[in-house]
Amino acid sequence: MKRATEREIALGPRQKDVSLQRWLYSELRDAILTGRLEPGARLPASRELARRLRISRGTVLVVFDQLAAEGYLKGSVGRGSFVAPALPELSPMINSLGFRPDAESDADKERRQARSKITLSSLGKRLARTPFQVEGRRVPARAFRPNQPDLAAFPFDLWKRIVSSQTRSLRRDTLADGEALGFRPLRTAIAQHLRTARGIFCSADNVAIVGSIQQVFDLIVRLVLDPGDEVWMEDPGYPGARQIFEAAGAKIAAVPVDEGGMDVLAGCVLAPNAKLVYITAGRQAPLGPSLALDRRLKLLAWAQKSGAVIIEDDYDSEYRFEGAPLAALKSLDRNENVVYCGTFSKLLFPALRIAYAVLPESLVEPFTNALSLSYRHPSLLPQTALHEFIAEGHFGRHIRKMRLLYSERAQALQEAARISLRGLLDIPPITIGLDTPAFLTWAGDDAAIASKAAEGGIESRPLSVYSVRRPAPPGLLLGFAAVEPAVITTGAVALARVLESLIEFSPRKVYF
């Protein structure tokens, strides 16, 4: 693949008592020694550089000749001047100055960090903690990666055709700013889908397109909470939401979860004046139960009376394997207290980075303005491609296809657990989602188990990381959607070996 070798050069200001020649020589030499001009990089032509800097070409030629004589540059007639491929001074200079982080050692990195004078604020320190991987996840997925769809089953060639078609049909007027809430045809398509699939009646004017559900959490918190305000949080519950709330200075009211989902009455006792509720009503993360109907109605009645905002994170309820998908909590919201969130990262593929929120009428304008101020809107091209994917019927067909596929894999995991993991893990019936909790049947350390399993190439997530105030039931979150049944079977055997090597024969009662 052809690569550009010429580099733009940022030069520092010239002091009044420094000649042009000495200034240019020092700046170019420093750029080479610190790695800003890499070995082999092509310098601009002397005539072009002189024009940019508004100095004589003769000055540039003298500097180039001096650098070449000292071994920093190599010249070639008709090709130009290049940074020498090997410089005796370069490696130690780079290491001592702390540049080129792609090549530095751990010791170099520590020295560079020790020199940093930047001090984080208390908010910055809270924001700097993340429950997510920052390096990206390897492809292909391994058993039992949670929270990821099967990328191999996505209609990649079809998506490429749609993206290519959208690129060819771009008009100049699409290069300008779009609406802060996102591409309106996509918002309309999402609203139509939600009416039939989730029982939510809304219009494009209530739908906001964002880069991730995390953005929704962040903006809603900043719009409705002051430091010290209380937030209901499922316990155990999703750490990605909890840490956003904590970073904003909110007080977390840890509401217990049982087989009926969040215990709403307990929430009313713990924090009757809470300003915000976060809930995974369709499938509680990580334990799995749906919020019972009586609790849905009690929660909505309490929110209507108190004026609280409810964030409903409906992260994977589209994938229900028995019967039709359950209606969302938002479908019962007659008093406009619920912000409903969904994401295409789990329905299609993670790199798409398109999620959405359905906003109560009173939040539309402030959310739109806050979105414009902070994030603007996601790139338009992926939004137009996704709209076409939905409008042509591919999205609906893909969801139906994946429901069947994931149902088969859920059955494969339950069968593999029955054969290989009996007495070690207890997996409840799987009827929905991309993953399942697997409860330890003995008193083990789930974090240590997950770490040991990772050493053997098995991916999982300890349930203990979801704990808010009280200990979560020890176990693992196991994904089944991203890998084929054969991988699930061999993964279960490997996981059983890990569990058997760590087991302590202390039977315990599972969570529920």
**CATH number for position 53:** 1.10.10.10
Return the residue matching tokens 């050692």. Answer: 105
Q: Does 8 fall in a domain?
A: no
Do both 184 and 330 map to the same domain? yes
Do both 493 and 422 map to the same domain? yes
The Cα-based distances of 186 to 213, 218, 319, 504 in angstroms read: 17, 23, 21, 53
The Cα-based distances of 90 to 10, 29, 30 in angstroms read: 19, 11, 10
The last residue of a domain, from among 71, 87, 103: 87
The burial of 135, by beta-carbon neighbours within 10 Å (0-12 exposed, 13-18 middle, 19 or more buried), is given as: exposed
Residue 467: CATH number of its domain: 3.90.1150.10
Instruction: Tell me the HSE value of 202 on the side-chain side, using a 13 A CA sphere.
Output: 33
Q: Does 97 fall in a domain?
A: no
- pLDDT value of position 111: 55
Measure the N-to-C terminal CA separation of the chain; round to a whole number of Å. 57
The last residue of a domain, from among 394, 429, 446: 394
Do both 463 and 347 map to the same domain? no
Helix axes 239-247, 213-224, angle to 10 degrees: 30
Do both 52 and 188 map to the same domain? no
Q: Does 141 fall in a domain?
A: no
Do both 260 and 369 map to the same domain? yes
Do both 290 and 363 map to the same domain? yes
Do both 389 and 485 map to the same domain? no
Residue closest to 223 by CA, chosen among 211, 237, 208, 238: 208
Sign of CA dihedral 278, 283, 284, 286: negative
Q: Prior bond to 154 cis, omega within 30?
A: no
Do both 386 and 409 map to the same domain? no
Q: Does 1 fall in a domain?
A: no
3 state SS of 465: helix
Contact 354/153 with Cβ under 8 angstroms?
no
Q: Does 144 fall in a domain?
A: no
The token duo for 462 is: 């300890």
Please state the pTM of the whole predicted model: 0.79
Helix axes 213-224, 361-374, angle to 10 degrees: 110
- pLDDT value of position 109: 59
Do both 336 and 420 map to the same domain? no
Do both 374 and 404 map to the same domain? no
DSSP letter for each residue of 211-268 = S-HHHHHHHHHHHH--TT-EEEEEES--HHHHHHHHHTTPEEEEEEEETTEE-HHHHH
* Structural domains in the chain (count): 3
Do both 475 and 365 map to the same domain? no
Each residue's pLDDT, cut to its tens digit, for the chain (512 residues) gives: 444 455 677 788 888 888 989 999 998 998 888 888 888 888 888 888 888 888 999 999 999 989 988 889 987 666 788 888 877 554 444 444 444 444 455 555 565 556 667 888 888 888 888 877 777 777 788 999 999 999 999 999 999 999 999 888 887 777 777 899 999 999 999 999 999 999 999 999 999 999 999 999 999 999 999 999 999 999 999 999 999 999 999 999 999 999 999 999 999 999 999 999 999 999 999 999 999 999 999 999 999 999 999 999 998 888 988 877 778 999 999 999 999 999 999 999 999 999 999 999 999 999 999 999 998 878 889 999 999 999 999 999 999 999 999 999 999 999 999 999 999 999 999 999 999 999 998 888 999 999 999 998 999 999 999 999 999 999 999 999 999 999 999 999 999 999 998 875 445 544 44
Do both 169 and 281 map to the same domain? yes
Domain that holds residue 43: 20-87
The last residue of a domain, from among 87, 110, 141: 87
